[in-house]
Structure 1
Amino acid sequence: MWEASFWGFVGGFALLIGAAAGIWLPTSKRFVGLVMAFGTGVLFSAVAFELTAEAYDRSGADAVVIGLLAGSVVFFVGDALIDRRGGHRRKSPNGSPAGAGAGALVLGALLDGIPESAAIGVSLVGGGSVGVAVVVAVFLSNIPESLSASAGMRSDGRSVRYVLGLWGGVLVASTLAAGLGFVVLGGAPAVVVAVTQAFAAGAILTMLADTMVPEAVEHAGALVGLVTALGFTCAFLLSMA
């Protein structure tokens, strides 16, 4: 459990790094979009090779299909509820819509971050070593997520304490999610572990399509496709190493 929590903390700590960059470093919106695109490619690779493929190897196609669809539906519903409270542009460097509640931003950050961290804990189930590619993918994707969102929150006039406090809270939740992912599934049957892995993959895929890719394209344009492919390639080579 402690090892899973530690690696969850490592992956989540990137949120604070990205938040600090969004607050204090002069970054253009185009640069933010390109960094988001790279992180998107990294996560696509982790979803395909570290989560979905491993879930298939554990328990076959049925577990993968059930998990992917369930994870996607749960994220979709949760995201729709958060959108209604003003959180649909939570990752935009332009800031959130007028009237967006602090609760929507916090819940949105948790919804986006917890599946990734839980996947880290699940990668240790069965006595295996931590999925290095998953940790790296989560770490690299968290930086542009929090960088973009933090820049947007600052443009909304939110205080540095508020922004860092939000991401600090998400870091704590991510650390706990990784530890719980290992504890809850430590003695579970292979099919349960496989469905959980695919569930996390489905949630992450839906998050990428719904929030990361649109924001990246809006701010960085046509180069997003190339940079996403670059991120995917780097993460794929890491998975195969």
Structure 2
Amino acid sequence: MMTSIVILVVSIALIAGAVWGIFGNISKKTEGFLVALAGGALLVSALLELIQPALKSNSIFITLTTVFIGAIIFTGLDYLIKQKWGNNSGGGLLAAITLDGIPENLALGVALIGASPLSVAALTGSILLSNLPEAAGGAKEMAQNHNKIKVLFIWVGTAVILAAAALVGHYLLADVEQEYLKYIKSFAGGAVIASLSLEVFPTSFKKDRYWSGIATTIGLILALFLHTLDA
């Protein structure tokens, strides 16, 4: 029951963010602030929840290589989206959410097996902090150049894919060795770091200028607090 609730909440956060961005009235400054807030939360998630566990128990060389591969693949996809496919309207943020979200939600599904309520709250909270504002910012930009209903369906489809990834993680990867699951998380961590550099922080600074630094720190503090609940 808890698994279904958590997966539903995380998925709804994406859809709610998309609806807010497409149909709501978000100023550029607010959008930049929210994206920076998500960036701070993602930074904590990438380092403490995705990469650090593998560094503690797995091969350091393989872990860091996996992180690098995640960054390379995201960067390549981001390049294709912007330079080859000509999509500079939120597609990068959609790619960021999808690429790091699939392994992240796989890990979420596995983490929910026998997890304590505080552990579930910490992990779910970090994902919520990042998904909601990212979806709002990305969907708003996409809606400026495409049909709003079509954009909404794209984000709903993304939420369904990520929910499916969490269900796969929970029901099909329960018996996979922790070593390999941590490598999956490391790959996600590399994708997150690349997305922060290429999409999240440049977007937030462009829209909200120096307030984005404050917003990033707020997101980081909130995510760190949630992380301490599981300490």
- Structure 1 length-normalised TM: 0.82
Asked if 2 retains the 8 angstrom alpha-carbon contact of 1:37 and 1:227, the reply is yes
1:169 counterpart residue number: 157
Asked if 2 retains the 8 angstrom alpha-carbon contact of 1:63 and 1:194, the reply is no
| Cα distance between partner residues in 2 of 1:46 and 1:186 | 22
| Cα distance between partner residues in 2 of 1:62 and 1:182 | 28
**Cα drift, residue 42 of structure 1:** 0.8
Q: Which amino acid aligns with 1:16?
A: I
- Closer, same or farther in 2 for the Cα pair 1:9/1:73, shift >3 Å? farther
1:111 aligns with 2:110: no
Q: Which amino acid aligns with 1:235?
A: A
1:155 counterpart residue number: 144
- Secondary structure at 2:85's aligned position in 1? helix
1:61 counterpart residue number: 60
| Cα distance between partner residues in 1 of 2:47 and 2:165 | 21
After superposition, residues 187-198 of structure 1 pair within 5 angstroms as: 187-198=175-186
> For structure 1, which segment, 56-65 or 218-227, has the greater mean C-alpha deviation from structure 2 after superposition?
56-65
| Cα distance between partner residues in 2 of 1:118 and 1:89 | 28
**Cα drift, residue 133 of structure 1:** 2.5
- Secondary structure at 1:185's aligned position in 2? coil
| Cα distance between partner residues in 2 of 1:199 and 1:42 | 18
Q: Which amino acid aligns with 1:150?
A: A
2:44 counterpart residue number: 45
1:95 counterpart residue number: none
The C-alpha deviation readout for 1:195-226, integer Å capped at 9, x for no partner, is: 11111111111112111111111101011112
2:86 counterpart residue number: 86
**Cα drift, residue 78 of structure 1:** 2.3
Match of 1:141 among 130, 139, 152: 130
Question: Unaligned stretches of 5+ in structure 2?
Answer: none
**Cα drift, residue 145 of structure 1:** 1.6
| Cα distance between partner residues in 2 of 1:90 and 1:65 | 29
| Cα distance between partner residues in 1 of 2:88 and 2:122 | 29
**Cα drift, residue 61 of structure 1:** 2.0
Asked if 2 retains the 8 angstrom alpha-carbon contact of 1:91 and 1:215, the reply is no
Structure 1 vs Structure 2 CA RMSD: 2.5
Question: Unaligned stretches of 5+ in structure 1?
Answer: 93-104
Asked if 2 retains the 8 angstrom alpha-carbon contact of 1:64 and 1:195, the reply is yes
1:234 aligns with 2:222: yes
The C-alpha deviation readout for 1:43-72, integer Å capped at 9, x for no partner, is: 111112122222223325234213211211
Asked if 1 retains the 8 angstrom alpha-carbon contact of 2:42 and 2:126, the reply is yes
| Cα distance between partner residues in 2 of 1:210 and 1:178 | 26
- Closer, same or farther in 2 for the Cα pair 1:82/1:191, shift >3 Å? same
**Cα drift, residue 3 of structure 1:** 5.7
**Cα drift, residue 188 of structure 1:** 2.2
- Closer, same or farther in 2 for the Cα pair 1:201/1:157, shift >3 Å? closer
Identical amino acids, percent of aligned pairs: 28
The C-alpha deviation readout for 1:74-94, integer Å capped at 9, x for no partner, is: 2222222222212344169xx
Asked if 1 retains the 8 angstrom alpha-carbon contact of 2:91 and 2:142, the reply is no
Q: Which amino acid aligns with 1:86?
A: G
| Cα distance between partner residues in 1 of 2:55 and 2:46 | 12
